Amino acid sequence: MSIKIDKKENRITLKTKNTMYVMQILFDRFPVHLYYGKNSPKADLTYRARNTSYSPNYEEYGFTYVPNAEMVEFPFYGNGDYRADALRLRDMTSGSKVTEFIYQKARKFKGRKDIPGLPFADANENTETLELTMTDKFTGCTLKLYYTLFPECDIISRYFTLENGGNGDVRIEKCMSLSLDLPDMNYEMISFCGSHCMERIPQITPLFRGNQRVESKRGASSHQANPFIMLAANGAKEESGNVYGFNFVYSGSFLDEVETDFNGTTRVAVGLGSDNFSMLLKPGEEFSSPEAIMTFSSSGIGTVSRNMHSFIRSHILPAEKYEKRPVVLNSWEAFYFDIDEDIMIDFAKAAKECGADMLVMDDGWFGKRINDRAGLGDWYENPDRFKDGLAPFADRIHAQDVKFGIWIEPEMVNPDSDLFRAHPDWILLAPGRDPLVARHQHVLDFANPDVLEYIKNILSACFDGVAIDYFKWDMNRHMCSVYSPVLPPERQDETAYRYMLGVYELYRWLTERYPNAMIENCSGGGGRYDLGMMKYSTQIWTSDNTTPADRVFIQYGSSFGYPASTMSCHVATGIGSLEDKNKLDFGYRTALAGPLGYEFNALKATDELKKTINAQIDEYRRYEHLILRGDFYRMLNPLECGCSAYCFASDSRSELLFTLLRCGNDGGTDMLKRFTDSLKTGKSRTVPESFRVRFAAAKRNTVYKDMISGECFDGDTLRRGITVNVPKEGLYSKMMYLVED
Ligand code: GLA
């Protein structure tokens, strides 16, 4: 077992492959934190009382336990710890929200505890869990803190359950799944901010004294923020230094809080927060928090990314539906809303001629959806466009020898729809307030079980008996006026959370009802690029921005927390003209960073273009095992030098796939430049003419042959670094496929 509960020393030690986490139970009462870092016999596990003035203490323990100054396992509200609290519980009888739980016992078990209704990481034979039980004598509540170890990925996850065993109501008013105290504050926080079409641009900020937060209040993890953050010790680099990583298995509003204090310690917390959440618990009721995860590496930012990647691949993502990921041809950027049966059949033919495996029919096939002003909610085929219905149509698509994928956006409704006309009270809207639209649509109240039932019925009436191989599940606006008419006043702060439970229920329903179909998640591109969505979706549409010079940056940022296998990459109209060989080459090579797809009007493609695309897909198939399952190494930061370089390595390191992409003279398009300038993250984007790239993944004493150029390199030289020259002007790409000779 990797969990050791030492009752004599009152100490609990958790060990993963390379990390160690140690806590102590002080005075049989308070779980305090001793250490999280490298698994080393030299680790400093001394408990240090950190008294300071103006910090209340328990008289009986003197200054050996001062809540505001300790490193604690799980901080409570209102009880002398003034830093960010993880749990705030209001006793509804007295009105008090002073929260205090006292340690009772610890136990360990194989596997994990499931989290009802929410996505959570799958256990395997190595998974073990520590459960700490704490009770509150005043409210009668029992709190169980869980630490689940995924040892081979160096990941520890954190979640809790709270059971109201008392006689009165209580309300959780702040809920953080994870709280971690670190003894120092010499870190830079790496967070990923953005906007629609510019998701997950890394932002690096040194920690300052006080509270710094990354959060979303949008009801979605969002384009603007992402729950994944890193704390990199000053001086840490891609392949060296101490780095922590944190993420949240949830897709709605969230809060990442990082607070440093007068003692120079740091507290990191990840959870639902307090602004967009509360939960009433009646006597006998139990609440389970979503799962948060953390990792540590003493060998750099890159290793933390790889820990996250392998964890997501083996414990989060659904099992692959097909032997190979289908290369799709998607109709959106080709036709937008102007689609019908005949166009789609021709498009399927063109998909086949290009060598693609699947036709994805995007928006525009249902209800009165001829533009974005109508039809959402009316999930039946538009009879003017699909005369014989969907089932024969899907068969005709399959007759072209390609798979069939279809677009849905089940959480939304247009005011101009049969659904909205019949049920105007089925949207999120506060009483007495005017509804605000975004993209001419409202958010359906998924906290209302009737709405969910209706959507299941209308979807099954539409899709049962139709041979569907893939759903693209979209979500194209954020919440406001959050209020559910079916919840009582005292439960209104539960709406956004209950909405997410509804979304997850529908995902599970869709997966079970159509077990042969894979799901690609989308939210105006990568607006819900998170571990909650990844639990049900094999891949995510990375961004609506398909301009390769921008995509380079979006993919770079996304790679910090998420594996390439999740990053749906299309060669699309953002390239400019696909007939322009240079642009096409650059766009395609940029897209070789995740599951490949195409999104352009293939009906107009020349035979030569179709031939080129066939060759591209053949080549992608040769590299796919590395892109989807290899270890990923970032080698150049495009925000610093306008050039991205990275490498996928096979398990044994006998194959290395290297890509270098130079985005243009300043790197990225004007849109990206404006965005990154405002962040001040790019140190300089003057693009040098030669780069030194180091292959940290190369094996020593090994000769590699580049199967593209025929050149040979020895592993030690690759590790020390080789020079790549790039031309002065324009887009440029270089790839090497290095195979052990
Ligand atoms: C969103 C998606 C696009 C496309 C459109 C359809 O913007 O990100 O890929 O599906 O919706 O309306």
Instruction: Output the CA 522–ligand 1 centroid distance in Å.
Output: 8
Q: Ligand 1 center to residue 21 CA distance, Å?
A: 43
Give per-residue pLDDT as tens, 486-512: 999 999 999 999 999 999 999 999 999
Of all residues in the chain, the percent with pLDDT exceeding 70 is: 97
Report the nearest-CA residue for atom 7 of ligand 1: 524
| C-alpha 88 – ligand 1 centre gap (Å) | 39
Query: Whose CA is closest to atom 3 on ligand 1?
Result: 524
pLDDT exceeds cutoff 70 at 611: yes
Burial of 718 (0-12, 13-18, 19+ CB in 10 A): buried
pLDDT tens per residue across span 447-466: 999 999 999 999 999 999 99
Instruction: Give 21-77 pLDDT, tens digit per residue.
Output: 999 999 999 999 999 999 999 999 988 877 788 999 999 998 889 999 999 999 999
* Cβ-contact 459, 408 below 8 angstroms: yes
118 contacts 508 by C-beta, under 8 angstroms: no
Give the Å distance between the CA of 333 and the centre of ligand 1: 9
The DSSP output letter for 490 is: G
Q: Would you say 638 and 382 are in contact if contact means Cβ atoms under 8 Å apart?
A: no
Alpha-carbon gap, residue 464 to 556, rounded angstroms = 40
Q: Residue range 208-222: average pLDDT?
A: 97
Whether residue 525 has its Cβ less than 6 Å from ligand 1: yes
Cβ–Cβ under 8 Å, residues 377 and 410: no
The tokens describing 279, both together, are: 């939960």
Q: Looking at ligand 1, which residue's alpha carbon is closest to its atom 8?
A: 524
Phi, psi for residue 492 in degrees, rounded to 5: -65, -30
Pocket test for ligand 1, best of 406, 522, 528 (most atoms within 8 A of CB): 522
Catalytic residue ranges? 474, 544
Query: 476 CB under 6 A from ligand 1?
Result: yes
Q: How far is the CA of 375 from the centre of ligand 1 (A)?
A: 15
- Pair of tokens at residue 80: 């002398």
DSSP 609-675: HHHHHHHHHHHHHHHHHHHHHSEEEEEE-HHHHSEEEEEEE-TTSSEEEEEEEE-SSSSS-HHHHHH
- Among 706, 730, 728, smallest CA distance to 718 is for 706
- Of ligand 1's listed atoms, the one at least distance from the Cα of 523 is 8
Check residue 53 and give its pLDDT: 86
- Please count the other Cβ atoms lying within 10 Å of the Cβ belonging to residue 156: 25
Strands 412-413 and 442-443: antiparallel
The minimum-distance atom of ligand 1 relative to the CA of 472 is 10
| Per-residue model confidence as pLDDT tens digits over 283-336 | 999 999 999 999 999 999 999 999 999 999 999 999 999 999 999 999 999 999
- Closest ligand 1 atom to residue 525 Cα is 8
E strand map for 377-534: 403-408, 412-413, 442-443, 470-473, 518-521
- Ligand 1 and 541: CB distance under 6 A: yes
- Our answer on whether the CB atom of 524 is closer than 6 Å to any ligand 1 atom is yes
27-36, 148-157, 342-351, 666-675: least confident range:
666-675
Greater confidence, 292 or 550? 292
Distance between CA atoms of residues 544 and 4, nearest Å: 48
Give me the mean pLDDT over the 413-418 stretch.
Answer: 98
Of 116 and 727, the structure prediction assigns the larger pLDDT to: 116
Neighbours of 96 (CB within 10 A): 13
Ligand 1 pocket: which of 476, 528, 543 to mutate (most atoms <8 Å of CB)? 476
Alpha carbon nearest to ligand 1 atom 1, residue:
524
Going by alpha carbons, the residue nearest to atom 11 of ligand 1 is: 524
Q: Is the CB of 544 under 6 A from ligand 1?
A: yes
pLDDT at 41: 93
Amino acid at 448: N
Ligand 1 close to Cβ of residue 407 (< 6 A) = yes
Identify the pLDDT of residue 727.
Answer: 87
Q: How would residue 412 be classed by pLDDT, with cut points 50, 70 and 90? A: very high
- pLDDT tens by residue, 251-295: 999 999 999 998 899 999 999 999 999 999 999 999 999 999 999
Query: Taking the model in full, what pTM does it have?
Result: 0.97
Between CA 580 and CA 585 the distance in angstroms is: 9
Distance of CA 580 from the midpoint of ligand 1 (Å): 25
Ligand 1 centroid distance, CA of 545 (Å): 11
Q: Evaluate if residue 1 carries a pLDDT over 80.
A: no
Q: Does the CB atom of residue 21 touch ligand 1 within 6 A? A: no
Residue whose CA lies nearest to ligand 1 atom number 12: 363
Say if ligand 1 is within 6 A of residue 364 CB: no
Cα-to-centroid distance, 566 and ligand 1 (Å): 17
Read off the pLDDT of each residue in 114-120 and give the average, rounded to a whole number. 98
Look at residue 83 in the predicted model and tell me its pLDDT: 96
Rounded to the nearest integer, the mean pLDDT of the chain is: 95
* pLDDT tens digits, one per residue of 668-723: 666 667 666 655 554 455 677 899 999 999 999 999 999 999 999 999 999 999 99
Is residue 543 lining ligand 1, measured as CB closer than 6 Å?
Answer: no
pLDDT recorded at residue 680: 54
